[in-house]
């Protein structure tokens, strides 16, 4: 018996939903907090399994934590450096942020190679390039990364990333905040989550400038202290609910949104013909008068169309008239949702990593498997659209990134629940 998500499709969505704090920020903010010498309080933390995995890792390193509601307090005062437990590391990719944080905190660290969703090759070579430029030695032994600095500690450097990488940008920021001198990161990623992490670091006493641009300058400091920090809203969760509302909504208002973070998605929804009312911190979606229009999408680094919204967006394209096309330039192998959608009656195919979708086919409920986090969100959207019952396996992937998804969708009028069923 394993837990499945059961979705009875066809129900119209109405009402309001409030977006939680950003997963992709939170999983970096938590490792960043250990750089303080007194407690850090994070507000707006989402209730997702990745957060509990990170808390468990902190507890193993003697970091005291308290997580009540959406407020997480992290007290690293008595923290000790221990080899990172590989079992927990394998469950989430963001564990690699401990590499930069431990290097800064202790001058050394042992971190298991990161896990998380398999989306094809996602090398950490740019992370390691940055650490080495700052003066660290990095060795890979038996599936773990051994990081160490000499007695002089980390030294500032000019680092140019060969490819734009959110993870490498954040990790090198964490490593550089106490390095001696001014570190300059060029070809840095510009995602909102990077600005969020830089804001926390600066509130802790760091000197980070330029986050959100492609050049970040960091002047090393000797000490960092605790603070309070509110996590930004999750633009991917917000985008997913916008897509769900466009797929099955009659009148849905999505609250706690930073609209600027979603401009790539909103532009494509408007191109399809989705009626949107855009407010200062909300977007309201109403039912279109006629069929939506098929379009082409290419995922790009921020502020382009987010790769994390490519999979949830795919079922919406299946409701559109004509053919649509998706090219994912970030993760070309992010295509495992396509066979599952075809089980439900979709007409989609992959040619040379290009997804081609023929719209206008009614989806039917089926047994499907979420192979990763955003593929899981895709199947929830498909389940809402389908006639009959959709049974989604691999629920643990969905729970990694969506706070109270069953409760939020139920409040909008969807019919879904968790249930133990035989495989």
CA–CA dist 169, 150 (Å, integer): 23
The alpha carbon of residue 294 and the mean position of all alpha carbons in its chain are separated, in whole angstroms, by 27
Helix (H) or strand (E) holding 114: none
- Do 360 and 321 form a contact (C-beta atoms < 8 A)? yes
Closest C-alpha to 378, from 341, 413, 327, 414? 341
Strand order in the sheet with 40-43: 64-68, 71-75, 40-43, 228-230
Query: What gap in Å lies between CA 187 and CA 199, rounded to an integer?
Result: 20
Alpha-carbon gap, residue 341 to 315, rounded angstroms: 8
Distance, C-alpha 204 to centroid of its chain: 24
Is 145 in a helix, a strand, or coil?
A: strand
Question: CA 407, CA 335: separation in Å to the nearest integer?
Answer: 28
Q: Which residues pair with 284 in a beta bridge?
A: 253, 277
154-184 burial, b for 16+ CB within 10 Å, e for fewer?
bbbbebebeebbbbbbbbbbbbbbbbeeebb
Residue 417 has phi, psi (to 5 degrees) of -160, 160
Q: Among residues 7, 27, 117, 320, which one is catalytic? A: 117
- Computed on alpha carbons and rounded to an integer, the radius of gyration of the chain in Å comes to 22
Active site residue 227: no
Q: Is 16 left (phi over 0), alpha (psi -120 to 50) or beta?
A: beta
Exposure string of 201-216, with b = 16+ CB inside 10 Å and e = fewer, is bbbbbbebebbeeeeb
Q: Distance between the two ends of the chain, CA-based, in angstroms?
A: 6
The catalytic residues are 117
């Amino acid at each position: 018996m394993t837990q499945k998500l059961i979705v009875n499709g066809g129900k119209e969505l109405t009402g309001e939903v409030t977006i939680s704090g950003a997963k992709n920020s939170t999983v970096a903010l938590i490792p960043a907090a250990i750089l303080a010498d007194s407690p850090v309080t994070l507000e707006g933390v989402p209730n997702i399994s990745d957060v509990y995995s990170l808390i468990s890792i902190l507890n193993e390193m003697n970091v005291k934590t308290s997580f009540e509601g959406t407020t997480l307090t992290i007290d690293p005062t008595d923290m000790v450096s221990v080899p990172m437990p590989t079992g927990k590391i394998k469950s989430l990719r963001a564990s690699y942020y401990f590499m930069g944080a431990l290097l800064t905190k202790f001058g050394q660290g042992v971190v298991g190679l990161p896990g998380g969703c398999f989306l094809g090759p996602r090398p950490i070579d740019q992370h390691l390039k940055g650490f080495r430029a700052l003066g660290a030695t990095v060795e890979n032994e038996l599936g773990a990364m051994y990081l160490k600095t000499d007695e002089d500690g980390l030294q500032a450097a000019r680092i140019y990333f060969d490819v734009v990488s959110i993870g490498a940008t954040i990790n090198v920021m964490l490593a550089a905040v106490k390095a001696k001198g001014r570190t300059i990161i060029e070809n840095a990623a510009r995602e909102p989550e990077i600005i969020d992490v830089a804001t926390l670091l600066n509130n802790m006493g760091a000197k980070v400038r330029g986050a959100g641009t492609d050049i970040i300058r960091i002047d090393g400091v000797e000490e960092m202290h605790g603070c309070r920090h509110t996590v930004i809203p999750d633009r991917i969760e917000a985008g997913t609910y916008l897509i769900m509302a466009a797929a099955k909504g009659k009148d849905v208002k999505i609250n706690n949104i930073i609209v600027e973070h979603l401009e790539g998605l909103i532009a494509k929804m408007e191109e399809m013909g989705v009626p949107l009312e855009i407010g200062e911190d909300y977007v309201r979606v109403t039912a279109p008068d006629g069929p939506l229009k098929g379009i082409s999408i290419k995922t790009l680094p921020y502020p382009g169309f987010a790769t994390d919204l490519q999979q949830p967006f795919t079922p919406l394209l299946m409701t559109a008239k004509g053919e649509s096309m998706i090219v994912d330039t970030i993760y070309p192998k992010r295509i495992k949702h396509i066979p599952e959608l075809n089980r439900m009656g979709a007409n989609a195919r992959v040619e040379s990593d290009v997804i081609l979708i023929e719209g206008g086919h009614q989806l039917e409920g089926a047994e499907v498997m979420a192979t990763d986090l955003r593929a899981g969100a895709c199947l929830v959207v498909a389940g809402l659209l389908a006639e009959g019952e959709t049974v989604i396996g691999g629920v643990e992937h969905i729970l990694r990134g969506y706070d109270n998804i069953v409760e939020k969708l139920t409040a909008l009028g969807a019919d879904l629940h968790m249930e133990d069923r035989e495989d």
